[in-house]
Structures are given as C-alpha cells and as structure tokens.
Amino acid sequence: MALTYHLQVVNLLAALLLLISFAMLSQRRIVNLVTLFAWQGAALSASTAIVAWSTGQHHLYWSAGLTLLLKVIVMPWFFYRLVRQLDVNRDVEAMLNIPTTMLIGIALVIFAFNLALPISQMSGTVTRSTLGIAMACVLLAFLMMITRRKAITQVIGFLAMENSLFFAATSATYGMPLVVEMGVALDVLVGVFVLGIFFFQIRETFDSLDLRHMEKLKER
C-alpha cells in the first residue's frame, strides 16, 4: 500500500512536469521561463527522491541532490543574473504563435504516448507508467528550442530537454550510474557558464540575442 502511495505521488509529479513543459512552451517572458525551469527542476528532484525511497536505489538520492543544487539553485540564479545584466527581460520572440505551438505540442504528446507504450510494457521498473510523460516532455522541450529565436531561451529549452531525458531514464531503468550522472552534471554546468560568456559576445556584436543575426555572418 505504501508503494502504491509513492507511485501516486510520482505520477502526480510526472503530470506536473508535463504541465510545466506546456507552460514553458507558451511562455513569452524570459524571467518567467527561468522560474518555470526552476520549478521543473524541483519537481524532478522530488520525483527522483521518492523513487529512491520507494525502491531502495540509493544512488538516486545523489541524483536528486545534484538536480536540486544545479537546476533549482545555481542555474536559475545564473540565468537571472544574465537576464538582468543583458537587459533582456522582455517578451520572447517566437517563430510560431501560441495556439499553433500548443496544437503541435498536443500532437507530440499523443505521439509520445503511443511510442512509449510498447517500451513501457517491456520495462521492469515500477515507474514505467511515467515513461510516456517523460518522452512527451522531451519532445515539448525540443519544440521550444526550434521555435524560439533568442539564444538564452534555446539554452533553457536544451536544459529542459536534459531534465526530461533524465526523468525518462529514471522511469525506464532507475537512472544512470552515479559516475555518469555526475559527469553529465559537470558537463552541463560548464557548458552553461561558457554559453553565458557567448551570450555577452553576441550582445556586444549584434546588440541583440536574436540568433537570426548569426545568419548574416559570412566567411572571409
């Protein structure tokens, strides 16, 4: 009965992750997008900790702690500073309007659930029922990346997709080995700081973070 209760909480957090993914997809302000990313990290951390408690996979406690530290505290703080220093706290430009984007997102969710169904039936984990939601979140994050023009929002979309991939790994196989997870976390952290420097270079060169300006560059 206790395990069933834990699974219900995990399913609830999975549904919350899906709702946050749709909210990020429709969000047009960068500060609010960063806040949603932090909430996504918090839900992912809580879900991972509950899975660790209910299944005895103790390495997942470290994963939950890393997610809490990096995705809820360090990276949002870094993005808030970038938004303030670059003065990009304004509406985010997108290539598609919100209704069209949301309709595409719904279609991707349906596709993800149908794709995950045979995979979840082969999985032996107790969290296999959340695999469809995890794959849907991956596709929604990818959609956010390709429909945004600002560099900072594309990076947040990439990090949201990484969150969703980790949630999918937790659903299918109880996560990756701890050494691999720590290596990935370090790579992502370093990459974010390097991209922060890259943002300043783009702003100084083009006076904008719109990646369409990169298309004007030509070989000399």
Each residue's pLDDT expressed in tens, for the chain with a length of 220 residues: 444 777 788 888 889 999 999 999 888 888 888 899 999 999 988 988 888 887 777 778 888 888 888 889 988 888 888 888 777 666 556 677 888 889 999 999 999 888 888 777 766 565 677 888 888 998 998 888 888 777 778 788 888 888 888 888 777 676 555 545 555 555 565 566 555 555 555 555 555 555 555 455 444 4
Name residue, tokens 């947040």: 156
- Domain count for the chain: 1
186 — alpha (psi -120 to 50), left (phi > 0) or beta? Answer: alpha
Q: What is the DSSP letter of 93?
A: P
Whether the CA torsion 54, 45, 11, 116 is positive or negative: it is negative
User: What's the N-to-C CA distance of the chain in angstroms?
Assistant: 68
CB 178 within 8 A of CB 61: no
- Domain residue limits at 63: 2-216
Q: What tokens appear for 7 in the block?
A: 């699974």
For residues 164 and 141, the answer to whether their CB atoms sit within 8 Å is yes
59-67 vs 178-206: helix crossing angle, rounded to 10: 10
Report the C-alpha gap between 94 and 101 in whole angstroms.
Answer: 10
What is the spatial distance between Cα 136 and Cα 110, in angstroms, rounded to a whole number? 8
Contacts 24+ apart (CB under 8 A), 131-136: 131/168, 131/171, 131/172, 133/14, 133/15, 133/17, 133/18, 133/167, 134/14, 134/17, 134/164, 134/165, 134/167, 134/168, 134/170, 134/171, 135/164, 135/168, 136/18, 136/21, 136/108, 136/109, 136/112
* Cα–Cα distance, 136 to 134 (Å, whole number): 5
Q: Confirm if 67 and 166 have CB atoms less than 8 A apart.
A: yes
Q: What predicted TM-score, i.e. pTM, was given to this entire model?
A: 0.79
